[in-house]
Amino acid sequence: MTPETLLLALLIAQGVIGGMDTLLNHEIIVRLPQRMEARTEIGIHVLREAAYGLLFGTLAWFAWNGTWAVVIGVLLLAAIVIDACDEFVENRTRVLPQNERLLHFLLILNLGFITIVLVPVLMDWASNRTGLVPAGHGILSWILSALALAAIGWSIRDLLAWRALSRKQSGKRTA
């Protein structure tokens, strides 16, 4: 298994586990989009889902050579910082269900594996001439593309929920 193939498999695992967490915990059990006190958390989720959507979609189809490797490195760093902020806010504002704690542990562990695999890949890409090189990986690329669309779609959905909660909060302040 090449490092790129391992990376894509880890990204798919991140998307699947994250999707399970979002659907089961955020939507069904806790119902975050309907809770005013979750507005900040939902705003963070908008950023996180967008970052992962970009990582999934870009890494599925291209090698980011030369200075483009920095873009992916910054995106990975952003995902790590956003995830850390999300953990901080979630643990400050609500009691997490036990299954959500387990899923978060798996997500953070997997993000560490992604980082361990991606950093050497980025260093290799950075040593090449700058450019985006098509690098499809068969079914893995297609699965990641589907996860990218789901993550971006959910980011938009959470943005709309965040805006609705912001309008509600503004209405309460002026009333």
Q: Taking the model in full, what pTM does it have?
A: 0.93
The residue ranges of every structural domain in the chain are 3-174
Helix, strand, coil abundance in the chain, percent, nearest 5: 85, 5, 10
Question: Tens of pLDDT along 37-46?
Answer: 999 999 999 9
pLDDT tens digits along 136-156: 899 999 999 999 999 999 999
Element (DSSP H or E) covering residue 62: strand 62-65
